[in-house]
Structure 1
C-alpha cells in the first residue's frame, strides 16, 4: 500500500493558521474526519490525546505526527497540514511545528497500511523532502512530491542487500509502533551512513518485528543500541555491549549514540538483569520503585477484580435465611462462585510480591517474590512457622516483593565471579533455592512487626465512625480527581484495594464513587449550563456520561488540560462529596472496580447511587459557577 492511497487532496490543508497545540489537534481531527473513516470523532480525538499524554508526537525539526490506532476506525488514513507561522507543539528541540501529519490506523490483522505509514515516517527524516512539502503551493503539488519520493524509496528497497557486516545494530520501538519506531530506525541508519559505519535497525512496530537482527549479525557487531519506550526481547544480546535509551533520543541524537558504541563506552549486558546497561537520562530510585510497584499492582488486579466480583455475586445469589453464619455458601451456585472467587482473590498477595520482585531482578525474581508473598499472606513467624498468628497482609506482601527483588540482585552480584562452567546452574539452582530461603527468612522475621502495623491500621479504620469515617471517605475519594490516573489517584486506589483483603469494603466504595465523578460532573455541566461551553465541548460532554458511568475518569482529562484551574478543583470537591456521603450511608463494595457494572454487588446500592448523583451535581455546580458564560459567537 502506498502513502498516496491513504492521503487524499481533500485531507490536505496548506498554510493554515492555528495558535496552539490543542487547536492544531482539533483542526487535524476535523480534517481527517471528513474522509469518512472515523465513525466516532470524539473517540479518535481521545486516542490522539492519550498518545500525546505518553509524550509529545512532535519529533523536532518542525515536524509533528499525532496518531492513534483504534478498533473502530474503518480504514487507514492520513491528513496533513502546513502551518503558516509555525505553532508551539511541545517539540523536544523547542522549534515551532510547521508540518503535521495525523494518522488514523485500524487494529486489523493484515496491517498492510502500516508499511505506508512506516515509509512516510522514514521519508520525513530527509530535510529536503520536508522543505519541498513546506514550499508546496497546491495540494496537487504536495501529493506529487510525496509520490515521487515514495517511488524513489521503493526502487531503493527493491535493490538486493547482499552480504553485509554491521558494526552497529539497533532496535527501535515506541508504545504505538506506528511512526516514531520507524523514524528512529531511519535516523540511526542515516547517521551511520554519514559517519561511515554500516548500521542495521530492527523495528518493533504495530505489525510485529521487521528487519529482524540475526544471531550472526549480533555476534559480529561492536554493540547494540536499544532506542525504545517499551520492552523488547533482550536475551539475544547477552554478553554484548548494549546502550538503552528512548526512541526520542534515537531520532534526535543518533550520531552521539553510535559514537558511544564505536568508542566502546557502552557496558556489557547480562540477561540475568545486572545493572550494567547504560540508560540515557537514568531514572531515580523513587521512580524505579514506583514502576516496580505499579508492575506488581497491574498484574495483581485481574485476580482481585475477577475474584472480588465472583465473591460479590455469591452473596448476591445466596439465601441468607438458610444459615446466616454460612452466608455466601448456602446454595450450590453461591458456594461454587465464592470458592472460586476466594481462590482467585487469595492469589492477590503472592502475585503482587512476585511481579514487584520480577520488575527489580528480571525473571529469577518472580519465584522468589511469589514465595515471599505467600509467607506474608500466611503470617508465618519463627514461633509458629505454619502461620496464622499475625496478619501482615498487603503491606507485608509489598515489602516481600521489594525484599525478594533485592535479594536476587545481591545473589547475582555474588555469583558474577563464578566460573563460566557454572553459568547454567545460577538461574536453575542458586537463585531459586537461596533466594526463596532468604526471602522466607527475612519475611518471617518482619511479619510480626508488619502484622502489628497492619492490625493497628485495620483496628483504627474499623473503629472509625461518624466524622472521622466520613473524613477518610472525603480524602480518598478526592484523591481520585487530583491527577486522574496519576500517582495520587493510584495511591488512593491501591490503599482501597489493600483494605479489601482485610475485609474493609467501605473504602473501596468511596474510592470508586470518587473516580466516577470527574466525567459525570463535566457531562452535567455541559448539559445544564450550555452557555459555558462551545458546541464541540458540549458534544464531548455527552460521551462523558458513558465514561463516568463506566468508571473511566480519563474522560475528564481533555477538559482539565484546557482549563485546569477550574476543572480540577471542581472535580475534587465533587469526588470528595461523593466519597464522604458513601461513607455516611455505610455503602460497601467488594469488587475493586466501579461503574454501573458492579452496582448489584454494592451494599446499600440506592444510597450509593444517590451519593454519586449528589457528588456529580456538586462538581457540576462548582464548575459552572467558576466558568463564565462564553460570548455568543464562541458558544456556537
Structure 2
C-alpha cells in the first residue's frame, strides 16, 4: 500500500472556502463525511478539538496537521486542504492543512503511511509543489515523486565524525513525532553528522536506540510531549524540549547538545536533563531555593486564605472554649493553620532537597524541614535543612554508585535516606535550631516594633524591589523575605510586596488609557490586558513595555510601587494571603479599602510619571508599532 492509496484525489480540496481555523476544520470533516469515511462526524470533530486543546497542530512552515484516532473512522485517511491566501491556525499563518483520521484499531502499516506524510512536509521543495499545483493530479504526482527518495542527500557532505542520537514522541505518535525526527535528521545531514532518532510513535518505539548508540553518541536530543524513558542515557546530559521546538529549531538544539560534551568523562555522572547549559558554579543555590519556594507557595496561599475566612467569624471563633465559637471557623482554622501552614516549611525544605538530589533527597529534606518547624527556626531553618539533606543524599548516593546493581534498590530506599536524615536531623537539632530561632524572635520583635517612617521605609524598599525586575532575582529576593515573615505570622510585608507586584501593570495600563499618544497602537491594545494582569498580581504583564522603553518605564514602576508600599506599611495594613491579587483582598486584608487605595495611589504615580517621561508619538510612529515589535 502506498501513501496515495490513503490520500486520494477525492480527498483533496485545492481551494478551501473557510477563513479561520474552525471553518476549515468543519470543511475538512465535511469532506470526510461526504466520502463516507466516518459514521459520526461530531464525535470525530470532538476528537480533533481535544487534540488541538492539548497543543496546537500548527507546525510552522505554513502547515497544520490536525489528527485524531476515533472509533467513528472506518479506515485510515488523509484529507488535504489548501488556502492560497492563508488562515490563522493556532496563531500561525497556514496554507496547507492535512487532516489525518485513523480508526482506533488502525494497523501498523496504515499508521506508518500516515506518519510518512509528516516527514515529506519537512521538504521545502515538496511544500512548494503542493502550493503551485493547479490540479489534484499534480498533488498526487508530487507525493509519488517524493516517495521515490525521501532521504536527505549526504553525498557531498564531509563526514564531521560526530554522532547524534535522540528520541521524539508526541501525544498521538502520528505526525509531530516523525516531523521532529526528520527535522533533526536534515539538520545533522547538512553538517555531515551521523544521526539516529528513536521515534516513539503510535506503533511503539521504532529505530530503537541501543546501548552502543548511546555509548558512542556525541550529543543527545529528546523532543517529547509525553513521558519517555530517559534512564537509558545513564546520567548523560541531554537537551530536553517539546516536540515543536525540534521541528522549528533543530540546528540550535544540535548546537546546544554538542556543547554538553558528553564524551568528557567528567560529564558522565550528571543525572539531570537540561534544556540550557548550567552555570559553571554547579551548585546553583538560587535554582534550588526557587524550586522549594514554588512548591511552597500554594500551601501559603491556601493556608492564609482559610485562616482569614476563619477570622471573619470572629477573632476567637475557632476556639471551642470561646463564646464566639463557630464550627465552620474551627474547620477553616484547622485546615488552614494546623494543616496547610504546618506543611509550609517541610515542603520548602523537601523540594529544595528534591531539586538537589532528586527523589533520594525528598524524604530527608522534608523531615529536616519538620525539625526546623518544631524547633522554631522556621523558614530560614527550612532552607538550611533542604540544602544539608539534599547535598547529603547526593554525595552519599554517589559514594555508593559502584555497589553491585543487586543492592542499589536497598541503598536508594534505605541507606541513603537513613544516613542523610541522620545528618540533617543532628545538624538541625544540635547546631542550627537554637541560634536560628533566636534570630527569628529578634526579627519578629523588630518588625512588630516598626511604626511610622521606619515601617514606610521598609514598605517602600520591599515594593520597589518587587517592581524593579518584575519576576527576576531582585523580585524573588523580596518575595522570599516576605514568605519568611509570613511563616512567622507577620503579614504586613506581604501586603507591601503585593502592592509592588500589582502597581507596574496597572500603572502602565492607566497610562495607555490616559496618555494614548505616548504609545503605539499595539501597545495601547496590550495595555487593556495589563489591567487584568495587574489586578491578578501578575507583574510580568509590565515586561513588554519595560523591555521596549526601560529608561522611562522601569523608574516609573519602581517609584510608584515604592510610594504605594510605603503607604501600605505606614498604615499597618496586613495581608494573610501572599498571592491572588484583587480576588483575596476582601477576605485576607485587615483594611481592604485602604489597601486598594494604596494600590491605586502607586498606580496613579506610575501612570503620571510615564506620561511626563515619554514623549508623544506622531500618528505615523503610532501606526508602525515599532516599540512592541521589538519585544514580541
Alpha-carbon distance, 1:412 to partner = 1.2
Distance 2:411 2:179 in 1: 40
User: Which of 286, 289, 292 is matched with 1:293 structurally?
Assistant: 289
- Residues 240-291 of structure 1: per-residue CA shift (max 9 Å, x gap): 4734136579822787899999x99266999xx8659899844333773222
Distance 1:552 1:156 in 2: 53
Distance 1:409 1:202 in 2: 33
2:575 is equivalent to residue 589 of structure 1: yes
User: Which of 429, 441, 454 is matched with 2:414 structurally?
Assistant: 429
Q: Which has the larger radius of gyration?
A: 2
Distance 2:571 2:225 in 1: 45
1:360 corresponds to: 356
SS of corresponding position for 2:90: strand
Alpha-carbon distance, 1:330 to partner = 2.6
User: Which of 184, 188, 200 is matched with 2:197 structurally?
Assistant: 200
Distance 2:220 2:328 in 1: 52
2:444 corresponds to: 458
SS of corresponding position for 1:227: strand
Question: How many residues get paired?
Answer: 529
SS of corresponding position for 1:367: helix
Alpha-carbon distance, 1:564 to partner = 1.8
2:507 corresponds to: 521
Distance 2:474 2:134 in 1: 47
Write the mapping of 1:5-154 to structure 2, written as runs, cut at 5 A: 35=20, 104=90, 126=123, 140=132, 151=143
2:627 corresponds to: none
TM-score norm. by structure 1 comes to: 0.69
SS of corresponding position for 2:284: helix
SS of corresponding position for 1:416: coil
2:166 is equivalent to residue 170 of structure 1: yes
Alpha-carbon distance, 1:158 to partner = 12
CA contact (8 A) 1:479 1:488 kept: yes
- Mark the CA change 1:377 to 1:322 in structure 2 (over 3 Å): closer, same or farther: closer
5+ residue gaps, structure 2, are 1-5, 24-50, 63-85, 93-98, 102-110, 152-162, 624-632
Instruction: Please say which of residues 324-333 and 473-482 is displaced more in the overlay.
Output: 324-333
1:618 corresponds to: 605
Alpha-carbon distance, 1:532 to partner = 1.6
- Mark the CA change 1:222 to 1:614 in structure 2 (over 3 Å): closer, same or farther: closer
User: Which of 551, 554, 566 is matched with 2:552 structurally?
Assistant: 566
Alpha-carbon distance, 1:184 to partner = 5.4
**Root mean square deviation, CA, Å:** 5.0
CA contact (8 A) 1:119 1:150 kept: no
SS of corresponding position for 2:485: helix
CA contact (8 A) 2:238 2:257 kept: no
CA contact (8 A) 1:518 1:575 kept: yes
Distance 2:170 2:473 in 1: 23
Distance 2:439 2:134 in 1: 67
Write the mapping of 1:489-500 to structure 2, written as runs, cut at 5 A: 489-500=475-486
CA contact (8 A) 1:188 1:199 kept: no
Alpha-carbon distance, 1:428 to partner = 1.7
Distance 1:154 1:357 in 2: 53
Alpha-carbon distance, 1:298 to partner = 1.4
User: Which of 245, 248, 259 is matched with 2:239 structurally?
Assistant: 245
CA contact (8 A) 1:244 1:278 kept: yes
SS of corresponding position for 1:593: coil
5+ residue gaps, structure 1, are 12-31, 39-68, 82-99, 160-166, 204-208, 380-390
1:313 corresponds to: 309
2:438 is equivalent to residue 439 of structure 1: no
CA contact (8 A) 1:482 1:568 kept: yes
Distance 1:77 1:280 in 2: 25
SS of corresponding position for 2:238: strand
TM-score norm. by structure 2 comes to: 0.69
CA contact (8 A) 1:123 1:149 kept: no
2:221 corresponds to: 227
